[in-house]
Structure 1
Amino acid sequence: MDIVVVGLGFTGLPTAVAAARAGMAVLGVDASAERVREIAGRRPGCGLGTVAEQELDAAIASARLSLRHNADGIPHAGVYVLCVPTPADRHGRLDVSLLTRAADDVAKAMRPGALVVVQSTCSPGTVEEVLLPRISAVSGLCAGLDFHLAHSPVRTDPGNVAVDTVPRVVAGYTPRCTELAVRFVSRVAHRVVAVSSPRAAELVKIFENTFRMVNISLANELAALCRAQRVDVGEVLEAAGSKPYGFLRHRPGPGAGGDCIPVSAGFFTASARRHGLHSPVVEAAIAVNNAMPAHTVHRVREALAARGLPPLRRSRVLVAGVTYKPDTANVRQSAAVRVINELAAEADVAYHDPYVPTLVLDDGSTLTSQPVGAPADIVLVMTKHAAHEPVRRDDVPVFDCSSGDPVEVV
């Protein structure tokens, strides 16, 4: 194999397909046998919004991309790319258990001269302080001499499959590591931006996503102020967006979710605390984001009361759209799911989402996606999928909560 990609999720699968398209012999490895089966069977949606299905079909049909469950072992290869999840623990710190397990598997398989590229999101210092000594110890090889190590975090936008057109940041442990990593990443990405160290590359990814968290939270605070002033927040944002410099529009909503934005902000503050620093702006943004689902439910209560409708505690509520963003199958850190958990404490809740067949709530109960016309007293639209018809009901009130504040759909 020319390259082994460990982890076939939102970042690993597009990397594997791009490498196969570039003519490399690629083995994609995943810890989930079910994930391997759904990719091999080309099940609808298996590209998770970051790989076009025709591109995946072509890569597998050409035999340049093969698939394997990690229980079957990892072979020798010139390049190993680690793309496993790095979730936050309950303190907001990086959970490296999956990443270190993948690093151990690679270290056991690799031979002198191999290049290891870490694509997983990492808090600053993870590559050099955690992964480097571990790979060296397990493999018995010396980093920078016997094997090469680099970090190249991926910028993905699920729902937009043009991942390889986005510039990639790359940094190696040594200048030679950087050189080899740039040479490899240049074959799977449109443009490469080299930085001085893995720590700098880690901070780039963390800051990019924290920047979005801060600005989304700011937009939500603007929405609250506009409501108090009886001003349309959309009008304010539209007019502000006419400024050709110094402004980047972010929209209010029920809360930022996904694998990166809220997680990276937590990594930012945890890393700051580790170095004796305080990050009040980011911490305030996290607090605003965490409060948005409860705020959305509170606003629904107010909307029902203002219209003389029964309160939530006497209502059957159907939530339409539960993914963290439109047209993806990802519910991680989803504000819509957090809203459902809030509602479940006082109402009879069901949901509709063609991308999510089942959903497990915080209390351990499991819900199954219902038809959009299922019995309900009120419908809350949380995520609007462009690929599906807008939710319309003539029998019950429908409130669009996708912007954070409920707006009745008539």
Structure 2
Amino acid sequence: MDAVVIGLGFTGLPTAVAAARAGMTVLGIDASPERVREIAGQRQGCGLGTVSEQDLRTALASGRLQVRHNADGVPRAAVYVLCVPTPADRHGRLDVSLLTQAADEVARAMRPGALVIVQSTCTPGTVEEVVLPRIAATSGLCPGLDFHLAHSPVRTDPGNVSVDTVPRVVAGCTPRCTELAVRFVGRVADRVVPVSSPRAAELVKIFENTFRMVNISLACELAALCRAHRVDVAEVLEAAGSKPYGFLAHRPGPGAGGDCIPVSAGLFTASARRHGLHSPVVDAAIAVNNAMPVHTVHRVREALAVRGLPPLRRCRVLVVGVTYKPDTANIRQSAAVRVLNELADEAEVAYHDPYVPNLLLDNGIALTSQPVTAPADLVLIMTRHAAHAPVRRDDVPVFDCSSGDPVQVA
């Protein structure tokens, strides 16, 4: 194998496909047998919105890309790319157990001269303080001489499959590590941006997503201020966006979700605390974001009362769209799911989402996606999928909450 990609999720699968498209022989490995089966069987949606399913079919048909379960072991290869999840807990600490497990598997398989690239999200110091000594101890090889290690966090935008057109940041543990990593990543991405150290690359990933968290939270506060002044927030944002410098538009919503924005912001503050630093701006942004689902439900209550409609406790509520963003199947950190959990405390709830057939609520209730025409007293649109028709119900009120501020749909 030219390359082995471990972890075939949102970042691993597009990397494997891009490497195969570049002419490399690639093996993709995943810990989930079901995930391997859906990729090998090319099931609809298996690209997760980050890789073209036509490109996936081409790569598999060419034989340049193979996929298999990790129980079958890791073979020798010139390059290993680690794309396993590193979830964060509520204190902002990363769970690196899957990353260290993947590092151990690679260390046992690799031979002198191999390049290991970590794509997983990492707190500053993870690559040099956790992954490097782990590989060195397990393999008995000397880092920077016998094997090469680098970090290259991926920028993904599920729903936009042009991942290879986004510039990639790369940093190795030594200049030679950087050189080799740039050479590989340059074959799977249009542009490579080398930085001085893995810590710098780790901080790039954390900061660029924290930047979005801060500005989305600021936009949510703007929406509340606009409402108090009876001004349309969309009008203010559009006009502000006409400024040709110093402004980058962000939209308010019921809460930022997914694997990157809220997780990176938590890592930012946790890393600051570990170094005795304060991050009041980021802390405030996280607090605003965490409060948005509860705020959204409160605004629904107010909207019902103003219109003389029955209160939530007497409603059957149908939530439309539960993924964290449109046109992707990812519900991790989804504000829509958090709203659904809030609603379930006082109302009978159901949901509709073609990307999510089943959903388990925090209270243990298991739900199955219902038709958008299912019986309900109230419909709340949380996530608007572009591929599906606008929601229209003549029998019950429909509120669009996708901006975080419920607006009745005519």
Same fold (TM over 0.5): yes
Q: Specify the code of the residue in structure 2 equivalent to 1:327.
A: D
Structure 1 residue 7: Cα displacement: 0.3
Match of 1:372? 372
Deviation at 1:254, TM superposition (A): 0.1
Counterpart mapping for 1:139-158 below 5 A = 139-158=139-158
Alignment coverage as a number of residue pairs: 410
Task: Tell me how far apart the structure 1 counterparts of residues 256 and 332 of structure 2 sit (CA, whole Å).
Answer: 11
Match for residue 294 of structure 1?
Answer: 294
Tell me what 1:134 maps to.
134
Distance 1:70 1:363 in 2: 34
Aligned position for 1:190: 190
Identity across matched positions, percent = 86
Q: Deviations over 1:150-188 (max 9, x none)?
A: 000000000000000000000000000000000000000
Counterpart secondary structure, 1:187: helix
| CA distance in 2 between partners of 1:330 and 1:16 (Å) | 20
CA distance in 1, matches of 2:95, 2:272: 17
**1:356 counterpart residue number:** 356
Residue 98 of structure 1 corresponds to 98
- Give the equivalent residue in structure 2 for 1:393: 393
Q: Report how far residue 94 of structure 1 moved.
A: 1.1
C-alpha displacement of 1:90: 2.5
1:194 CA drift (Å): 0.2
> 1:335-387 CA distances to partner (integer Å, 9 max, x unpaired)?
00000000000000000000000011112221100000000000000000000
1:121 equivalent in structure 2: 121
Asked if 1:316 corresponds to 2:307, the answer is no
Shift of 1:91: 1.1
1:264 corresponds to: 264
Amino acid of the residue matched to residue 179 of structure 2?
E
Letter in 2 for 1:122: C
Give the aligned residue type for 1:170. Answer: V
**Stretches of 4+ moved more than 3 A in 1?**
none
What is the distance in 1 between the residues matched to 2:389 and 2:140? 57
Aligned partners of 1:103 and 1:396: how far apart in 2? 54
Partners of 2:173 and 2:153 lie apart in 1 by 15
Other-structure match for 2:174 = 174
Q: Deviations over 1:102-141 (max 9, x none)?
A: 1111111111110000001111110001111111111111
The answer for the alignment partner of 2:345 in structure 1 is 345
- Give the match for residue 208 of structure 2: 208
Residue 72 (structure 1) aligns with: 72
Q: Runs of 5+ in structure 1 lacking a partner? A: none
CA RMSD of aligned residues (A): 0.5
Aligned to 2:335: 335
How big is each residue's C-alpha offset from its partner over 1:26-68, in whole Å with a ceiling of 9 and x where there is no partner? Answer: 0000000000000000000000001111100000000000011
Equivalent position SS for 1:330: coil
- State the match for 2:83 in structure 1: 83
TM-score under structure 1 normalisation? Answer: 1.00
Q: Which amino acid aligns with 2:41?
A: G
C-alpha distance in structure 1 between counterparts of 2:129 and 2:388, whole Å: 46
Q: Tell me, in whole angstroms, the C-alpha distance in 1 between the residues paired with 2:398 and 2:325.
A: 20
2:224 counterpart of 1:240: no
State the partner residue of 1:283: 283
Q: Distance in 1 between matches of 2:366 and 2:143?
A: 46
Structure 1 partner of 2:383: 383
- 1:305-354 per-residue CA deviation (whole Å, 9 max, x = no partner) reads 00000000010000000000000000000000000000000000000000
Gaps of 5+ in 2: none
Residue aligned with 1:317, SS: strand
Displacement of 1:242 in angstroms is 0.2
SS at match of 1:146: coil
